Structure 1
């Protein structure tokens, strides 16, 4: 498993239990143990390779924790995204591109790790997105942790990766060009 820089704030079980009550579901013990050990944290220079045609890989930046800064707090993130991600999914981390790593707490495929790309929600009406609309990553949190591999962009070959599309805000482009 790759090194994870733990959060400096201590794990808060009551905070997690509050989320479990909201969900009506318990978290897998392996995930609770991770929170007890790390309470979220940062992951640098890593890659997670997927068996997907749409997303070949991603790089994790942050695991969410309990009673930490709002943007990385698991309960706050759940409240932010609960109407945008499928029911029973809980955001547990973020990749460097802003995609959200989710833990499935539904009875079917309980414990699966999924990746939610906020861009795909544009194709759906509110609360219409379902589990199968997210990208499958791993069957358990344990398996997910072992998928995270070190990555050094200077040493690793990027052949096969191509930029397909780039968008830049027109007003920001003016600033870059010095027209404003």
Structure 2
């Protein structure tokens, strides 16, 4: 993990076992590089905070928290975003504009990539099926239209942060 990153306003340290357990309860085996970071930086924002999604510059907000009392508690955040994001996508952080940075397990359950989910024009999958008569598979495809590749691993994502 990069040593030059400045993490601000982190929660109290959380155990690796707790992080793994929460991930598994939600259906995800979280990668070790993410676990190593979030156990000491959960709930924190980071400097530098800029990263690119293709040619568009984005801003890192904060890592979601593993503290049940936090308004950024990762379980609550997952439940909020789950109706909108594709299956096998796990939100781990936000940006200041309401979008989320996620781990995407779609093509590799052992080694997820980091993606950016844009909330603009995103619809609840159930609503797409009811109002636009899409099948579950078509609603999933539509949800994937708002997912954009950022990095092959969480470590690579952190390496891409810049001023």
CA-to-partner distance for each residue in 1:67-106, whole Å, 9 max, x for gaps?
1554311111011111110111111111121111111134
Name the residue aligned to 1:178.
none
Is 2:69 the counterpart of 1:65?
no
Q: CA deviation at 1:15?
A: 5.4
4+ long deviations beyond 6 Å: none
Counterparts of 1:87 and 1:64, CA distance in 2? 19
SS at match of 1:98: coil
TM-score with structure 1 setting the length: 0.69
Secondary structure at the aligned position of 1:93 is classed as: strand
| Aligned match of 1:97 | 97
Query: Which residue of structure 2 aligns with residue 19 of structure 1?
Result: 23
Q: Hey, what does 1:36 align to over in structure 2?
A: 39
Q: Does 1:84 align with 2:97?
A: no
Superposed displacement of residue 46, structure 1: 2.5
User: Could you tell me which residue of structure 1 aligns to residue 159 of structure 2?
Assistant: 146
| Structure 1 stretch displaced more, 70-79 or 125-134 | 125-134
> Between Structure 1 and Structure 2, how many residues are aligned?
146
Gaps of 5+ in 1: 151-180
Stretches of structure 2 that go unaligned for 5 or more consecutive residues are: 130-135
TM-aligned CA deviation for residue 48 of structure 1:
0.6
Which TM-score applies when normalising by structure 2? Answer: 0.76
Distance 2:63 2:14 in 1: 13
Larger Rg: 1
List aligned pairs for 1:51-62, cutoff 5 A: 51-52=54-55, 56-62=56-62
